[in-house]
Amino acid sequence: MQFLASWIANNWGCTVMSNVIGLNIKVRPIDVVWRTRKEECKVELKKILNIEELDTSALEYFQQRVAAAKLVLDGLSVWDWEKLEADVVKIREKGHEPEEQQQCVCPVNHLPECV
């Protein structure tokens, strides 16, 4: 049940559930790098794909984004690693920031249209 509550809070941005302490969200450092250093990841992605303009709808974009984030992760300084680890712990304990959570703002009776 707690897993379900964690998933809902993480994916649907329910404000009531986001106040629950200890959601035990599974967050990896590479995920945090992708979210917090997206521009650096995109630069690495362009290098990997050998292109100048990214198309976020292209299959290659999704296939190589973890590799790009890994390159950024490998290039972090010791100080940046410590900050990253602190961010990972914070997200695991408190959940994602509200602006990062996926939110459906339509009325409940129109939910199928949001999906």
Q: Do 84 and 39 share a structural domain?
A: yes
Query: Could you report the per-residue pLDDT of 68-95, keeping only the tens digit for each?
Result: 999 999 999 999 999 999 999 988 888 8
Q: For residue 84, what pLDDT is reported?
A: 93
Q: Do 37 and 58 share a structural domain?
A: yes
Q: Do 59 and 34 share a structural domain?
A: yes
Position 112 confidence tier, pLDDT thresholds 50, 70, 90: very low
Query: Could you report the per-residue pLDDT of 4-38, keeping only the tens digit for each?
Result: 777 776 666 545 544 555 556 788 999 999 988 99
Would you call 97 helix, strand, or coil by DSSP?
coil
The domain in which residue 8 lies consists of 1-25+95-115
Number of domains in the chain: 2
Q: Do 84 and 33 share a structural domain?
A: yes
How is 26-84 classified by DSSP, letter by letter? Answer: ---HHHHHHHHSHHHHHHHHHHHHT-SS--TTSHHHHHHHHHHHHHHHHT--HHHHHHH
Q: Do 53 and 20 share a structural domain?
A: no
Overall average pLDDT of the 87-107 stretch:
72
